[in-house]
Structure 1
Amino acid sequence: MLALVPLLAALPDAPVRGIAPAAAQQAGGETRPALMITSTQEPTWARIRLDFAAPVTTVARAENGVLVVRFAEPVEIVAERIGEEIPSYVSQVRRDPDGTGLRMALTQNFSASVLPAGEIVFVDLLPEAWRGMPPGLPEDVVAELARRAQAAEARFSAERAARREGMPTPMPVRVAELPGLTRLIFAAPEGVPVEARSSDGSITLFFDERLDLEPERLLPTIPGVAAVEEDDTGEALYVRIDLDDGFVARGFREEEGFVLDVEPRDAEAGGVAPVRAALGLVPFLPGEGDAAPIPPARPRAEAAAASASMEDDAAATQLVEEPADEPVVEDAAAVSEAPAIAPVAAPAEPAPPRSVPVVSVVDDGLRVVFPFGPTVPAAAFTRAGVLMVVFQTPATLAEPDLGGAASDYAILESVVREGPFVTARMRLPEPRVARLTPEDAGWTLTVGGAADAAPDPIAVGSIVDEAGRTALELDLLDATGVHWTDLHEGGERLAVVTAPGPARNMSSTRRFAELELLPTAHGIAVAALADDVVVRADLDGVHVTRGNGLSIALPSGPGEGAAGVPLDLVIDFDAWTQAQRGDIRDEMRARLDRIVEAPIPERSRARLDLAFALLANRLAPEAAGMFQYALEEDPELAARADVQMMEAILAAERRRFDEAEALLSTDAMTENPEASLWRAYADAMRERWVPALTGFRRAARVLDAYPDDLQGRMRLAAARAGLAMRDFGYADEQLTDIARLHPGAVAADEVDLVRALVDVETGRTEFALAELTRLAQEGARPIAAEAELARVRLALVEDEITPDQAIEALERLAIAWRGDSVEVEAMGMLGRLYADAGRWRDAFFTAHMANLVFPDHPVTLALHETTAQAFDDLFLSGRADDLDEVEAVALFFDFKEFLPIGRRGDEIVRRLADRLVTLGLLDKASELLAHQVDNRLEGAGRAAVAARLATIHLMNRHPADALTTIENTRIAELPQAVRRVRNLIEARALSDLSRTDLALEVIEDEAGPEIDRLRADIWWTGRRWREAGEAHEALAGTSWQEDRELTDRERTDVLRAALAYNLGQDGIGLDRLKAKFADPMNASADARLFALLGDPDALATPGFRDAARDISSEDTLLDFLAALEARHPEAALSVAPVVEVGLRTPEPEPDAAPEAEAPAPITEPTPVSIPGPEARAEATREAL
């Protein structure tokens, strides 16, 4: 290994740390992505983290103690300290001069695993003896990738919805003409799905978006185009293009949009064919029906990355170069991945290396040498007379020349590339043995003849994987890839597993229910008989399984040794059944006598025998007491494995499953097959179904050896585990095995219940419903409770009962049965049914109780999430508008635990504050909004909510608090509406604090009806009577000129104007007001009051003081707020419902006014003996 140090030192000196030289930083004038490298060392492996400024395709290969990391493009290495951070793995590091790679000297041989994650790439160094899956991505990286995917999906959906709701997006159509070819480029927006179909001489393009064609010239004037029709459905665009006779069209998708080429049909033999072949176009011929899928354009970056990733393998491949003009066989997939558009005269990029097989006929067979080199992974097998040879390499394979005498042994059918694999298919005229062996020159295929040496066989075994599924394991440890292909078009599906040399094979066919393992010359071939067969090449071999596992028997289970010999079990069948025979009391008494009579060294064994007998007779607490006494008397017993197992079983039988799991998880119990069974049972009892199902499968042979009563209980738990994991076949197997046990080993109703639940899931609902109904009526209480829950669920799905009937049945069940999953599942169903029925308090209370009683149960967690969503919808989607205001507020404060976190929760709080305002609960509303302003919000949102809070303070007669709120949340940049509302509220607060001049200054530059009313209120509050009178007179406007009755608001403005003129002793203003409004006011209900206030000497008139007090006490705040809301509904607090709940008493309708309020003739007021008029006027002014 030390020899590697001089080797790396001989490389060009480019220190890893620091910044590369300026000449290397710029390649072709382009800025290179930066790279940060950090390394961490775990106990058994090391991780190198590469942080790029942008995603860069990275590959890594560890070979002969050197790790080579290559990048698809030059990168600027900013800093790294790999040798210092993981000295046990890396001794030296060198950067390639062009910035496209790193080379590291390893301290020993390691394997490399690459995990890309966006702009981050992880390179893990694993020991050669590593088994199992390689380390995964860190949780924070996975979470960030998920967040990005969700954000991108949400952004795409929002943009698409916005485009569909708005005007159609223009789609330019560009036209380009080439010799004998006209190209139409439909520049559809990025991400818009495009579909093309052809029929009867026309092409129909479907754009799944609202688009508007904007061709640069009329499309029907283009040669070959007869007519064009557009159809905008409101959600998509259909474009139909009719072609002239003798023309065909070809289309494909590229980065700029969808491209359609129109050309004469006879151009096939002309100069257009090479252009079309280079472009990889798919023809749409009239009458073909649906066209082939549109080939996607391959981005240049992707091609460069693929080239970089394969550079080393290609360099290691032994090639025989051929002339460039010799035809190359390529398949459709390779053509479809060619660049979408390429200039006709542009020089072709260098083709990948080509390998030409060397064919020779020997004495008794055919010999074909594929000069790829022995390290290129390969596989070969014969199926139905077809010999398939598969290589995993980027190099191109030329067709082998199998003419002449070679055709007696094999006839070439095709050479096809499919992704990274290239396959040669040869038909064998007669059955012959094929062998594939690695040699220095490459892989040698021999058909017929004698074998020099037999390849090593590939062993096959059966396992249970980490998901609890039965699987086949084949010990081809250096398998490199799995290639799925068809034997013939529409034929059976085959999975081919490639591997480098030396040759290893399957010598014979292995048949199973869902698949066949075919005989191979090298590698593995799997014929899938089921649709969901999965073949995986892992570090510890090749695994073959399916969704619910394979239907195969394990060759030897945990209950047997390698030769099938039963292992020693603590639960011995004979001893268990012996303890259950005869009278239990006599048996226990006899065992106690044996303890007393036994010599001291043998008493511990006798005590354990008594504990075992008590356990066999379902007396677990008593057995545990005797067992503990035995341990106290003889502490050395605790070191025995069987005693430890017995202690764990006693804990499980007393339903102390956490304690049992701890005892069964020690190092001594890890490989104990009986411990695996009891761990599975403990998991099943706690409804941890995944490990339970896995454990039951692995311990199948131990379970078979158990006594019937114990075996029956465990098989019932195993059936429930299969049912929960939707492995209904396994559940049915367990129920069938229970039927073979001794009658009475398991209660018949328990078996019938589980079988009915399986029938529900497998579609036999009629039988299941009948059986569940019977069990609910006749079964024991635990069985009846679970059966009733399942019956209600099934009957509701099958529309056999109504939701109200289901609620009634579940309410009875929730009261009658408590404390297990039946109760929490009943509560979960009730909560959802209550919500669907609009019984919100019942729904929220049910979820609240579930949180209290079963806080960690999955049903509770799901119910809480559903209820929180219902809470959200109730208060944000308008469904709460139908509720009584008091009930809506009570629901919020009673069930605040379901308030969502974040912006939606903040919006619910703000809407609730509006409801509190309508109910007159201003203190509570201000408390909620104050919390939002002080703790939750910032920026413009905080300023907007602060305006609402200040409004509530004004309504609550706290103008100082309103002014403080506005001042503490002032920021420079605000939306116009929010800024205006805040200014008006600030002015009103200043007015209420008698800071009249400052209030007027705040609204000096504002205009509008709400401003005029606010200004009038400010004048009034500041006792500027003349200005207040003029302002109220202006508010009444020209209503005196209109032929109608004055509104309540207009009459109030006129009365306040008259009062202000009187208090300000403005006779001119009062005369002007009377001249305008005398007639309409005399015809109104306020005629007498207007006559009183219109008198110049009204101050000295009896009743003036009361009239003035009534008019002045009229609250104008709500009128101001209503006007503010009408002008700025998006920023102001809604006060429309306030009048309805009593904050301001509405005036009676005119039709309902009492007769005493009817208009009366105007008469002169009667003089009264009072103090002087000046004294009275001054007293009135002071009172106001």
Structure 2
Amino acid sequence: IVVDLLDVQPPETIVPQQDSVAPRSEQQQERIQGPDSGVQSVAQPKPLIGAAAAVQTDVSEEETQENDVVQSVVSAAVTDDAKVDPLTARPAEVSLTVPWTEPAAAAVFRRADYLWVVFDRYKQVDVQQLVEQGAPYITFIEQLPYRNNTILRMVTRPDINPTTRRDGLNWILDFRSIPMRPTRAIEINAQVDRPSPNLYLPVTEGGRTVVVEDPEVGDDLLVIPVIPLSYGVYPARSFADLDMPVTAQGVVVIPKSDGVRAQALRAGIEVEVDGGMALSRAIADVSNTLGGDTGMQRILNIADWQIGQAANYTRNKQALQFALGDQAPEAREESRFRLARFEFVNERYPETLGILRVMASEESDVENTASFRALRGASNMMLLRYEEAAEDFNHFSLANEDDARFWRAAARANMGNPGEQAQVMIQTGSLIRSYPRRVKIPLALTGVEAAIAAGDDFGAQGFLDLIRRENPTLTERAAIDYMNGKLKQKTGDLQAALQQYRKAENSGSLLYQVLGQRDRMELENRLGTLSTDDLIEGLEQIRYRWRGDEIEFDVLMRLSELYTDQQDYGAALRLLKITTAYFNNGPRVDEAADKMASIYKELYLNGAADELSPVTAIALFQEFRSLVPPGEEGDEMIRKLADRLVTVDLLPQAAILLERQIQFRVTGVDRARIGARLALVYLLNRQPEQAIGTLHDTQNPESSRDLNAQRRRLEARALTELNRVDEAILLLGTDTMRETRQLRAEIYWRAG
């Protein structure tokens, strides 16, 4: 559900510019303050109470003209597949989308009871509607009146915080119950050896520094939004001259002395103080420590599970089995775990599941332990059983395990909507570095796809670099080329994307040859360098090169879409029929069936078949008549097609349609009504005897007066065609309706 939330015309009120509270450097941003507090709001709320919103109204005429050009839409959405908390009946996630037509850097952080969202570019936001759509998690939003920046303050429940992702240039905030924390913590390097000691944060593409006054505290914040996704400060840092709180995105500096400056340079952010910061060597050592995966909870220590040399698998397994057999029954659980882990690390995933199944059958409580769930979930994941894996890793026993969070996100990413899982996968991705390469690389590839789907090019490159360090095989190099192509396409570098797709297409891996060719042709078609006919020809080749999985399914569905666009409905329907047959037990077979029904409805209910020749229209109808829906919709389809066939004198074909309708589809009064239509077709085709027989066979005592009169006139006309004039006149009786009088006159005239 997506609701437009930015449709506000900035008012014409002009408010004079005011100077900042205290002199700053050139970074000090020009801002406009309204009367009184400087912020216009629906109501000044107490924290966490009520639902209110503030709308910025102090905008000059010049800004109004600029907004007319760059006006865009802020949308709020509760994801369609978002789960609902069973205790509160609230959605598990609320998403707010801020679209931009140009790159904008962002910062997201908390201070006191407020959540701040800051962009280094300006746009007017309809915060009243925004807060309504953010309910129940967002109870108050205001936009501070700044000329060059978009600054939003929100009130949410204390445990509700956003994560950030992007779709193209658009920023998306996903609110859920999580701690405030970035995916990647920016290093804070204390440069004590410089003449004027300062702090340096190595993050590229930082935005303009935004100096904003906190309305509650009255002090100034230096906010440096950044474009790299989910780069922020963690943990919070405190120095003699300034504080740096935790951020989900960007950097915030809170000065504690005069002369504090922060600015984004080409390769990073510098934080300085007039005369140099008060830094010691000890502080520098602490500040330069990287978090990595330090402190993360791990339960799958896969690298420690190998016993002996991998080449001696059989001998090592027999030794573990002998040791297991020598133990008393009550002491076998740990030995079985050791054997199951050994099977896993040697890629015997079915054997691993078999051992776990035996353990669960003998001791049911073991199934609720973290070790059991994690190992079974990992085995299911490696066997591509993603739903089972996600269920295992979602078990309460793994709630505090960071690597379980990664595996759960990876399983869900493979089930669909990978972009929603990117944040967790990137945040915990360092945990897979120690995994064996045969486990690490498939997980890293899933991470790449999730990061690309979320628009996080830095995260995608991080997973790609992890694969590159593993001395990749030919297939893995092809995967890198293909993923690089998807990444380049996502970031808008289309020519570079085409080059990467061609490299994958020319690789030694059949899988990535197919994927590279498919995506290269699709992109060329979008760019206008490949015709739709050539695209169809290429996809027809691909469907025979790669069979039996989601790739073939997607190609078949795409071909049916292209054939439909080309108005080759027969080819589209036949492909979809093949798809439903090939994937009749697949999870997406309903997509193909629904698309067939949709095309058929478009043809015979909404009039698309009128563009086809009558012969083609009736041929397709008969070939796919199983798609005729039950009830009134299907009857209307048959009626429309029969009427068209009558207009082009294909009377026998029209009669066949109506005969089947009478025989198999309708009863009662509807049967009498359709029988009258069939009798008329017989009369037009000079078959009066069949017309009379049909009318007699479809009589119904509950028919309306008008329908009975129509049926008598048809029978009288048929009797006239058979030169049974007296019977015809007698049948019409004393009916004085205009149509009956006209028919009676015509019969007398023909009788002479």
TM category (shorter chain) comes to 0.5 to 0.7
Structure-1 residue corresponding to 2:299: 569
**How far apart in 2 are the matches of 1:590 and 1:516?**
66
Q: 1:750 Cα deviation (Å)? A: 1.6
Amino acid at match of 1:486: P
Equivalent in 341, 350, 359 of residue 612 of structure 1: 341
Amino acid at match of 2:214: T
Structure-2 residue corresponding to 1:520: 214
Q: 1:935 Cα deviation (Å)? A: 6.1
Q: Does structure 1 residue 814 correspond to structure 2 residue 543?
A: yes
Q: 1:717 Cα deviation (Å)? A: 0.4
Structure-2 residue corresponding to 1:924: 656
**How far apart in 1 are the matches of 2:31 and 2:382?**
57
Structure-2 residue corresponding to 1:476: 113
Amino acid at match of 1:684: A
Quick check: 1:776–1:785 contact (8 Å CA) kept in 2?
A: yes
Quick check: 1:966–1:982 contact (8 Å CA) kept in 2?
A: no
**Larger RCO (CA within 8 A; separation ≥ 6):** 2
Quick check: 2:378–2:407 contact (8 Å CA) kept in 1?
A: yes
Q: Does structure 1 residue 665 correspond to structure 2 residue 397?
A: no
Q: Does structure 1 residue 492 correspond to structure 2 residue 186?
A: no
Quick check: 2:672–2:700 contact (8 Å CA) kept in 1?
A: no
Structure-1 residue corresponding to 2:487: 758
Quick check: 1:962–1:986 contact (8 Å CA) kept in 2?
A: yes
**For 2:695, what is the secondary structure of its paired residue?**
helix
Quick check: 1:677–1:695 contact (8 Å CA) kept in 2?
A: yes
Equivalent in 931, 936, 959 of residue 692 of structure 2: 959
- The C-alpha deviation readout for 1:904-927, integer Å capped at 9, x for no partner, is 654321133246662514653333
- The C-alpha deviation readout for 1:169-196, integer Å capped at 9, x for no partner, is xxxxxxxxxxxxxxxxxxxxxxxxxxxx
**How far apart in 1 are the matches of 2:640 and 2:347?**
60
Quick check: 2:719–2:727 contact (8 Å CA) kept in 1?
A: yes
Counterpart mapping for 1:664-1063 below 5 A: 664-689=393-418, 692-693=421-422, 695-697=424-426, 699-704=428-433, 706-741=435-470, 743=472, 747-854=476-583, 867-875=596-604, 880=609, 883=612, 885-896=614-625, 898-899=627-628, 905-914=634-643, 918-921=650-653, 924-930=656-662, 934=666, 947-952=676-681, 954=683, 956=687, 957-962=690-695, 970-971=703-704, 984-989=713-718, 995-1001=727-733, 1006=738, 1011=742, 1015-1016=745-746, 1018=747, 1028-1030=750-752
Quick check: 1:713–1:746 contact (8 Å CA) kept in 2?
A: no
- CA pair 576-465 structure 1, distance change in 2 beyond 3 A: farther
**For 2:492, what is the secondary structure of its paired residue?**
coil
Quick check: 1:959–1:989 contact (8 Å CA) kept in 2?
A: yes
Q: 1:483 Cα deviation (Å)? A: 1.8
Q: 1:829 Cα deviation (Å)? A: 1.9
Query: Whose strand fraction is larger, Structure 1's or Structure 2's?
Result: 1
Q: 1:608 Cα deviation (Å)? A: 2.8
Quick check: 2:149–2:210 contact (8 Å CA) kept in 1?
A: no
**How far apart in 1 are the matches of 2:366 and 2:665?**
68
Amino acid at match of 1:927: E
Amino acid at match of 1:752: D
- The C-alpha deviation readout for 1:757-779, integer Å capped at 9, x for no partner, is 22233333333333333433433
Q: 1:946 Cα deviation (Å)? A: 6.0
Amino acid at match of 1:736: D
**For 2:152, what is the secondary structure of its paired residue?**
strand
- The C-alpha deviation readout for 1:945-984, integer Å capped at 9, x for no partner, is 664234135555231532675865754689xxxx996664
Quick check: 1:914–1:925 contact (8 Å CA) kept in 2?
A: no
Counterpart mapping for 1:502-521 below 5 A: 518=212, 520=214
- The C-alpha deviation readout for 1:30-77, integer Å capped at 9, x for no partner, is xxxxxxxxxxxxxxxxxxxxxxxxxxxxxxxxxxxxxxxxxxxxxxxx
Query: Whose helix fraction is larger, Structure 1's or Structure 2's?
Result: 2
Quick check: 1:637–1:643 contact (8 Å CA) kept in 2?
A: yes
Instruction: Work out which of the two has the higher radius of gyration on C-alpha atoms and give 1 or 2.
Output: 1
CA RMSD, Structure 1 to Structure 2 (Å): 5.5
What TM-score do you get using the length of structure 2 for normalisation? Answer: 0.59
**For 1:948, what is the secondary structure of its paired residue?**
helix
- The C-alpha deviation readout for 1:1006-1033, integer Å capped at 9, x for no partner, is 479x946x755x45xxxxxxx7552xxx
**How far apart in 2 are the matches of 1:776 and 1:383?**
52
**For 1:481, what is the secondary structure of its paired residue?**
strand
Could you tell me which runs of 5 or more consecutive residues in structure 1 were left unpaired when the two chains were aligned.
Answer: 1-141, 150-291, 296-330, 335-380, 396-417, 426-463, 500-508, 535-543, 554-559, 1020-1026, 1031-1184
**For 1:995, what is the secondary structure of its paired residue?**
helix
- The C-alpha deviation readout for 1:884-906, integer Å capped at 9, x for no partner, is 54543231132235557887654
Amino acid at match of 1:652: M
**How far apart in 2 are the matches of 1:649 and 1:628?**
14
**How far apart in 1 are the matches of 2:418 and 2:577?**
26
Counterpart mapping for 1:624-643 below 5 A: 624-628=353-357, 638=367, 640-643=369-372
**For 2:343, what is the secondary structure of its paired residue?**
helix
- CA pair 900-801 structure 1, distance change in 2 beyond 3 A: farther
- The C-alpha deviation readout for 1:347-393, integer Å capped at 9, x for no partner, is xxxxxxxxxxxxxxxxxxxxxxxxxxxxxxxxxx9998989554756
Q: 1:522 Cα deviation (Å)? A: 1.7
Amino acid at match of 1:476: D
**How far apart in 2 are the matches of 1:732 and 1:936?**
68
Q: 1:629 Cα deviation (Å)? A: 5.1
Q: 1:826 Cα deviation (Å)? A: 0.8
- The C-alpha deviation readout for 1:429-462, integer Å capped at 9, x for no partner, is xxxxxxxxxxxxxxxxxxxxxxxxxxxxxxxxxx
Quick check: 2:716–2:732 contact (8 Å CA) kept in 1?
A: yes
Counterpart mapping for 1:535-550 below 5 A: 550=249
Quick check: 2:406–2:428 contact (8 Å CA) kept in 1?
A: yes
**What percentage of aligned pairs have identical amino acids?**
19
- CA pair 424-913 structure 1, distance change in 2 beyond 3 A: closer
Q: 1:822 Cα deviation (Å)? A: 0.7
- CA pair 594-708 structure 1, distance change in 2 beyond 3 A: same
Aligned length: 557
**For 2:460, what is the secondary structure of its paired residue?**
helix
Amino acid at match of 2:140: G
- CA pair 784-566 structure 1, distance change in 2 beyond 3 A: same
**How far apart in 2 are the matches of 1:914 and 1:805?**
38
**How far apart in 1 are the matches of 2:392 and 2:575?**
38
**How far apart in 2 are the matches of 1:485 and 1:294?**
14
Quick check: 1:814–1:827 contact (8 Å CA) kept in 2?
A: yes
Amino acid at match of 1:682: A
Quick check: 1:497–1:523 contact (8 Å CA) kept in 2?
A: no
- CA pair 666-496 structure 1, distance change in 2 beyond 3 A: closer
Could you tell me which runs of 5 or more consecutive residues in structure 2 were left unpaired when the two chains were aligned.
Answer: 16-27, 45-51, 60-91, 98-106, 115-136, 157-198, 231-244, 253-289
Structure-2 residue corresponding to 1:199: none
Q: 1:823 Cα deviation (Å)? A: 0.4
**For 2:151, what is the secondary structure of its paired residue?**
strand
Amino acid at match of 2:372: V
**How far apart in 2 are the matches of 1:818 and 1:552?**
49
- CA pair 745-619 structure 1, distance change in 2 beyond 3 A: farther
**How far apart in 2 are the matches of 1:765 and 1:662?**
38
- CA pair 961-702 structure 1, distance change in 2 beyond 3 A: same
**How far apart in 1 are the matches of 2:668 and 2:395?**
49
**How far apart in 2 are the matches of 1:774 and 1:936?**
67
- CA pair 885-480 structure 1, distance change in 2 beyond 3 A: closer
Q: Which moved more, 1:524-533 or 1:760-769?
A: 524-533
Q: 1:586 Cα deviation (Å)? A: 5.3
**How far apart in 2 are the matches of 1:746 and 1:982?**
74
